[in-house]
Amino acid sequence: MATSSIKTMPIMAIPNFAICHKLELLKEDKSHDLKRQEGVVVDEEGLSYEFREMLDSLPKERGWRTRYLYLFQGFWCQSKEIHAIMSFQKHFQCLQDDVVLATIPKSGTTWLKALTFTLLNRHRFDPVSSTTDHPLLTSNPHDLVPFFEYKLYANGDVPDLSGLACPRSFATHVPFGSLKDSIDKPGVKVVYLCRNPFDTFISSWHFINSIKSESVSPVSLEEGFDMYCRGVIGFGPFWEHMLGYWKESLKRPEKVLFLRYEDLKEDIEANLKKLASFLGVPFTEEEEGKGVVKAVADLCSFEKLKMLEVNKSSKSIKNFENRHLFRKGEVSDWVNYLSPSQAERLSALVDDKLGGSGLTFRYTKGNIHEATGHNSVCQF
């Protein structure tokens, strides 16, 4: 198995992570690719035939931006994601103060990465006075807090993480059931950000159609909605993804913090304080007096991040342009797309799958009532 390395850096390694990540861990090196294939027969996608045989044994459905999605360990994902996840599960060694950010796609992942990075590094990079030198101004959050499955272990790589200073921060879309064995050390903290299923679907549909390969036909709203309601979406079914982290947060609140996207939109400063306390870096009275909480919120805001040049033209995840990560970031945008019958179907599904779990979402505009004619799903 090929390895990739990260240079050892002093004390606070994370702020420089984007640079070393781009230049060493992620660069496309031809000799690197050749080494990976020495003695191993691979197909046109660079996957071994042994892996391909395993893949062919899995249930599959039409993919959203690739030909197929496969049912792996109880959730749907692409072949290359499976390859990376298997490498991660086999090789990752957690440390007791690691921080793992978890989301289902299009639930505010970029925002959560920006907030967490800024909180953990605010004593080196003061969000109040950093007008030009803060890493967020020149690096996308996905470069600062790397994904296990899209960066570190992509293509089955095994990265050398020994040069990263603690606390190390990582991100994943993997459901809790497939993550838990890799983060079983005491002290490892997981932050899960959840977004209401209605907006998550619309955001996913827009995003996937904007980045899909030209060789894959677009997914219509109707087809995508049906697949979503059947659970066939990346790392879905969405209800199982949400419930896995929700139940663990109730069982072990010291290990898993469960946040809601809508709550952050409504009161970002209160939720920043909650997040900072959970991470072990609470705001001091002096910091609050100096406006540090507001400065973090402003620096990481959707509007601020979207206007940065690095988020307009650069690429941080695979070959996708960063601009596709920033569309609207609004709550209840789904009412502009879903028909009353679709809203009724999804609300009934959510009632069925999440009802009785205690997991609820608030819809600030009362739009479910407007779309369906009843209020029963405003809490689910």
Q: HEC states along the chain? A: CCEECCCCCCCCCHHHHHHHHHHHHCCCCHHHHHHHHCCCCECCCCCEHHHHHHHHCCCEEECCCCCEEEEECCEEECHHHHHHHHHHHHHCCCCCCCEEEECCCCCCHHHHHHHHHHHHCCCCCCCCCCCCCCHHHCCCHHHHCCEHHHHHCHHHCEECCCCCCCCCEEEECCCHHHHHHHHCCCCCEEEEEECCHHHHHHHHHHHHHHHCCCCCCCCCHHHHHHHHHCCCCCCCCHHHHHHHHHHHHHHCCCCEEEEEHHHHHHCHHHHHHHHHHHCCCCCCHHHHHHCHHHHHHHHCCHHHHHHCCHHHHCEEECCEEHHHHCCCCCCCHHHHCCCHHHHHHHHHHHHHHHCCCCCCCCCCCCHHHHHHCCCCCCCC
**Identified catalytic residue from 173, 206, 241, 374:** 173
Is 173 annotated in the active site? yes
Active site amino acids: 173
